[in-house]
Amino acid sequence: MAPDTIGSLGLWAAFIAFVVAMLAVDLGIFHRKAHVVSFREALSWSVVWVTCSLLFSAFIWHRFGSDRGLEFLTGYVIEYSLSIDNIFVFVLVFSALKIPLLYQHRVLFWGILSALIMRAGMIFAGTALIAKFHWIIYVFGGFLIFTGIKIFLNRNQEESLEDSSVLKLVKRFVPTSTKLDSEHFFTVEDGKRVATPLFLALVLVEISDVIFAVDSVPAIFAITSDPFIVFTSNIFAILGLRSLFFLLAGLVDKFRYLKIGLAVVLVFVGVKMCIVDFYKIHPAISLLVIIGTLTTSIVASIRASNREARAAAATLSEGNRSPVAERTAVNAQNHQ
C-alpha cells in the first residue's frame, strides 16, 4: 500500500464492514424474494447510495481536508458516470437473452458482487505499478485518450449479441438450455446439468464490467494515487449501479449524446494524466469540467428528444396519418 494513503487499517476494516452489511441488508431483507424492481424503488435506492457517497465525501473532507474530499467526490463522479456505459450493455444482454424483469436484479447482484472483488484486485495492481513504474501513468493517460476517441467515433454504432464470441465460447464449453428455471443459474434437463440463460447473462455482465473497468480504473488515477480513495470511490459507484440500471433502463435511448459526454470526460482525464508532471489541475476544476460535460450532454439529449416529439406531433396534427409518421410520433412520445 502506498505510504501516503489516508486509509488506516481501522478505516479499511470499517469501510469493508459497511459494504458487507449493506449487501446483506440488500439481499437478505429487501430482495430476499425475486420481484420486479419498480421505478420508485430504484429511485429510492439510488438516493440512498448517492447520499451515502456524499456523506462519505463529507467525512473525508472533514477528517483529511478539502483536497482529499474533492479527490473522492471527483473520482466518484467519474466512476459513477462511466458506469452508465454498463447500463447500455445490461439492457442489450437482458433483451437478447429474454431475461424477465423478475430475475434481472439477481443477475446484477451477483455480477456486481464479483465486480467488487475484481475491481479491488485491479486497483491494488494499478497502485503498485504506478508506485514502482511512474512512467506507466503516461500509458494509462494515452489509453484513456484513445478510448475516448474510439467511443466518440463509434457513438452511433449499433451493438448486437448475435455474433458475440464470448457467448459462443461459453456455449461451447458449458452445456446450456434455452429455458429458464425460475431464478436458478443451472438446471437439470434430460438428466444433465445445464446452464440457464440466467447464467449466460451473468457471464456477459461480468465480462462487460471487466472491459469497462479497464477504462474506469485508470481514469481515477488521474485524480488521486491514494488507494483508499480510489477503492472507496469505485465501490460506491458500483454499489449504486444496480439501482441506476433500473432507474434508467427504459430511458437509455433518450440519452443520445451521453456517449459524446463520456468520450470528452475520458479524453480530459487522459490529458490530465499525461501532463501531471508538468501541470496539475486542481480537483475542484476537474470536478466542474466533468459535471459540466455530463450535464451538457444529458440536457442536449433531452432537448433533442423533445424537439423530435413536438415535430412528430405537429406532423400528425397537420393531417399526415401515414403509418410511418404515426410510428415516428408514437416512438418519440414513448421516449419522453
Q: How far apart are CA 39 and CA 244, in angstroms?
A: 10
CA–CA separation, 91 and 108 (whole Å): 11
Nine cell digits for residue 234: 469505485
Mean pLDDT of all residues in 160-188 = 79
The yes-or-no verdict on residue 145 having pLDDT over 70 is yes
pLDDT of 158 over the 70 cut:
no
In degrees, rounded to 5, the angle at the alpha carbon of residue 279 between the alpha carbons of residues 268 and 221 is: 50
pTM for the complete prediction? 0.78
**Nearest C-alpha neighbor of 68 from the set 234, 246, 224:** 224
pLDDT for the residue 29: 67
- Over range 32-46, report the average pLDDT: 81
Q: Determine the 3-state secondary structure of 48 from DSSP.
A: helix
Phi, psi of 84 (to 5 degrees): -60, -30
Q: What whole-number percentage of the chain has pLDDT above 90?
A: 12
pLDDT of residue 1: 40
DSSP structure class, residue 133: -
| Cβ-contact 224, 71 below 8 angstroms | yes
Which pLDDT score is estimated for 13? Answer: 92
Q: Between the CA of residue 219 and those of 61, 127, 276, 324, what are the distances in Å? A: 21, 12, 13, 44
**pLDDT tens string 81-135:** 887 777 878 888 888 888 888 888 888 888 888 888 888 888 888 888 887 888 8
